[in-house]
Amino acid sequence: MACSNFKNTLLFLFIIANLVHTPFASYLEIKKKCFLTSNVTVHVANMLSVNGPLLLHCRSKDDDLGIKTIGQNQEFRWTFCTNIWHTTKFWCTFQLGQKHQVIVAYEETVREFCKDNQCHWSARDDGIYLFDTEYYDWKSSY
């Protein structure tokens, strides 16, 4: 009987862990199996004509993906499981010399415009784009 209770407890903990999991470490390119939620990949590409470093800092309430330097024509991407409450949100700060912008890289309203749970953002000379639509203008730091 004790063994049966132990197995039931382990099963219960496994189910709970999958229900309330956070996207932690999924940005490390680990393809996750999501339980009752969606698997989403966000791509951020440097499509700028200038060959300066694009600094990118993406984070959520639960995870900080760190500051990344993205070279010209390169991208940074991460994959995560959304939560069951549909409140998963990632925002990113873009910095290019004296220009910057903070964007919402993922939330349910952005997901509507993503294709097959793939969200493709790009930094371009005139702004920040989701696929081929400009969503954000650059701001000057001075």
Domain spanning 22-140: which superfamily?
Answer: Immunoglobulins (2.60.40.10)
Determine the Cα–Cα distance for residues 129 and 111; give it in Å rounded to an integer: 14
> What is the pLDDT confidence band of residue 141, given thresholds at 50, 70 and 90?
confident
pLDDT for 70-82, tens place per residue? 999 999 999 999 9
Sheet holding 90-96, edge to edge: 64-70, 54-60, 90-96, 99-106, 139-140
12: which 2 tokens?
């219960």
> What is the pLDDT confidence band of residue 31, given thresholds at 50, 70 and 90?
low
Q: How much is the mean pLDDT over the chain? A: 84
Three-class DSSP category at 103: strand
Which residues touch 16 (CB under 8 Å, ≥6 apart)?
A: none
What is the model's pLDDT at position 53? 87
CB 37 within 8 A of CB 84: yes
